[in-house]
Structure 1
Amino acid sequence: MPDALVNETPLLVPPTLGDQTFRQLSGLLISGQIAPGERLSIREIAEAFGVSMTPVREAVSRLAAPGALEVSRNRAATVPVMNVQKFRDITRVRIEIEGFAAALAAENRTAEDLKAIEAAERAFRDLSSTRPQDVSNAVQRNQQLHFEIYAAAHSPTLLEIVQALWLRVGPVLNLDLRENPDRLESGIATLCHADALDAIRDRNPDAARAAIARDIDAAARFIERQNKLPS
């Protein structure tokens, strides 16, 4: 086989246990199932995931790099506690980055992307209108909708940045949603999601950016009003 062909052929490397553990632990952080300030036991995570402690340590190290976890000298891992200043800062960045991703989605989305976004928006809307609130499921549907939108931007680099932001803010954002169903009952998220969907359907990047920005800002303001973030 010619060397040029060998060099151009992508290598299909299967995910390692470390990769799988990283994705599982990332999912727990993004979905707010691990609270800010919570200490993570490497041994307990390994037992829960059915792996040895080595891939867990690898995953924890990878999550510490972007600040999603803090690792002390004794290798204990803790979810960082985000104060008001850090929360406001990351909210400003999210509005710019995720708004840009929504704008790109409006420009670049395919028919299949639109179907996926429509399905995710409908699933969240249906859950928001039911009583009593299925908050845990709503958290997952909200996350799914946002990432369907961002995936439609067709920018892997941008999606990685968004994921890094959610790793840091997820424990605050989604834990609050689980504890405060009033955020769902207000209907603001549902309206913003509907506006974002309409804008993406109409290929209107400015309206898509504005809708996602309103959604992020409204959620952040609600969380700040709870006065649970340290100053």
Structure 2
Amino acid sequence: MDLSSLVTPVTRQTLSGDVYKQLSELLMGGRVMPGEQLSLRTIAQSLGVSVMPVREAVNRLLSEKALELMPNRVLRVPTMTVSQFREITDIRVNLEGLATARAAELVDENGLREIEAAHDRFLRESLLKKPNEANLIALNKELHFAIYRQARMPMLLEMIEALWLRIGPILNYDLRSGSARVTEHVSADHHDRIFSALRNKDAAGASKALAGDLRGAADFIVTAGVLVADADSPSAVPTARPIPAPQPAKPARRAHGLPVR
């Protein structure tokens, strides 16, 4: 993967925070795949920064289980078991359903216009003969968070973002080009029902439509066979270990602690 085509070189002084934000966007937007390997040096070169702020941002993502460090020191996007995926889906239905219901109660005309514009962009892309997979995934995220922001619950929004850090790469499989959910406009139909309920101030209807969207996507992903069988889950392997800093006494040691790929 050519990271330089997906990120913007960092120039501001809050380097670690900027690196974290861009990596988070890649994960939440489904721009990287489960099992995909990354390296600190590649990320640093793509962003135009030193390895230090990248290590700090990556350690934060490791603690949030959005990335994992394998026993061979390889940094990668985590895979997910069926039971983990179902658990996250149940949590998402509750948290994102709450945000959607609250949005239906509080959304004003400006908010409705923002949501409708995001919905229209997703719909236009999905109606193309060959929709762009990356655009669909990004536009889906844009629409969902346009809705959730209208709930005006910042702590709830942070919780939802934390879940999307872990679920984002998996959503590649829901909106990939050629899937029935894309060609039959299933997601767009769910979005249309959500927007109609929001416009009518129907909190229960909006939450129900959102649940249908999330569970429909989850069912497709489970049946697609792209998740790890629970019996094969490497649950005993710790995944949140921080990347060690360079050791001054051993100058021959690689500063980033990871193989360059």
Query: Please, what TM-score do these two structures have when normalized by structure 1?
Result: 0.89
Confirm or deny: 8 A CA contact 2:68 2:76 kept in the other structure.
yes
Please give the secondary structure, in 1, of the residue aligned with 2:209. helix
CA separation in 1, counterparts of 2:30 and 2:139?
13
Aligned to 1:84: 82
CA separation in 2, counterparts of 1:139 and 1:72?
27
CA separation in 1, counterparts of 2:109 and 2:55?
41
CA separation in 2, counterparts of 1:56 and 1:138?
28
CA separation in 1, counterparts of 2:194 and 2:174?
23
**Of 89, 95, 98, which residue of structure 1 is paired with 2:96?**
98
Matched, 1:47 2:37: no
Q: RMSD of aligned C-alpha atoms?
A: 1.7
Aligned to 2:31: 33
Give the Å deviation of 1:144.
Answer: 0.4
Q: 5 Å matches for 1:136-147?
A: 136-147=134-145
Range with bigger deviation, 112-121 or 34-43:
34-43
Give the Å deviation of 1:134.
Answer: 2.1
Write out per-residue CA displacement over residues 79-103 of structure 1, whole angstroms, 9 at most, x where no aligned residue.
Answer: 1110111011101111111111100
Write out per-residue CA displacement over residues 167-214 of structure 1, whole angstroms, 9 at most, x where no aligned residue.
Answer: 001111125423654321122211110111111111111011001100
Aligned to 1:60: 58
Give the Å deviation of 1:152.
Answer: 0.8
Please give the secondary structure, in 2, of the residue aligned with 1:137. helix
Write out per-residue CA displacement over residues 17-53 of structure 1, whole angstroms, 9 at most, x where no aligned residue.
Answer: 1111101101111122221122210000000111111
Q: Structure 1: any 5+ residue segments left out of the alignment?
A: 1-13
CA separation in 2, counterparts of 1:143 and 1:167?
11
Matched, 1:196 2:194: yes
Q: Which amino acid aligns with 2:39?
A: S
Q: Which amino acid aligns with 1:186?
A: E
Aligned to 2:156: 158
Q: Structure 2: any 5+ residue segments left out of the alignment?
A: 1-11, 230-261
Confirm or deny: 8 A CA contact 2:44 2:54 kept in the other structure.
yes
Q: Which amino acid aligns with 2:84?
A: K
Write out per-residue CA displacement over residues 104-128 of structure 1, whole angstroms, 9 at most, x where no aligned residue.
Answer: 1101112211110000011111111
Please state which structure has a larger fraction of its residues in helix: 1
Confirm or deny: 8 A CA contact 2:31 2:134 kept in the other structure.
no
Confirm or deny: 8 A CA contact 2:131 2:177 kept in the other structure.
no
CA separation in 2, counterparts of 1:217 and 1:170?
15
Aligned to 1:126: 124
Q: Which amino acid aligns with 1:43?
A: R
Aligned to 2:183: 185
Confirm or deny: 8 A CA contact 1:133 1:181 kept in the other structure.
no
CA separation in 2, counterparts of 1:60 and 1:221?
31
CA separation in 2, counterparts of 1:42 and 1:179?
30
CA separation in 2, counterparts of 1:166 and 1:217?
15
Aligned to 1:230: 228
CA separation in 2, counterparts of 1:77 and 1:113?
39
Aligned to 1:110: 108
CA separation in 2, counterparts of 1:127 and 1:62?
34
CA separation in 1, counterparts of 2:179 and 2:156?
30
Aligned positions, number:
218
Please give the secondary structure, in 2, of the residue aligned with 1:165. helix
Please give the secondary structure, in 1, of the residue aligned with 2:176. helix
Query: Please, what TM-score do these two structures have when normalized by structure 2?
Result: 0.79
